[in-house]
């Protein structure tokens, strides 16, 4: 979420209600997912898949 959106507590509460861990994903969370996807030993090729990065 963008900084401006994070200031809107109502929006943040609505988003958190739809995420399994009840937290907003961070840039580090996204970087970890990219590292897994880029690894030849940890990942297989995916096609047409949306990966939700929500703070796991």
Q: What is the pLDDT of residues 4-52, one digit of tens each?
A: 888 899 998 998 898 888 887 788 888 988 898 888 888 777 777 888 7
pTM of the model: 0.55
pLDDT of residue 56 exceeding 60:
no
pLDDT of residue 54: 67
CA angle, 29 then 23 then 31, to 5°:
5
Cα(56)–Cα(32) distance, integer angstroms:
10
> Torsion angle, CA of 15/19/23/29, rounded to 10 degrees?
-110
């Amino acid at each position: 979420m963008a900084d401006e959106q994070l200031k809107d507590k109502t929006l943040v509460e609505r988003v958190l209600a739809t995420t399994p861990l009840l937290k907003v994903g961070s840039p580090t969370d996204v970087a970890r997912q990219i590292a897994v996807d880029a690894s030849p030993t940890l990942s297989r090729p995916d096609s047409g898949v949306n990966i939700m990065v929500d703070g796991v």
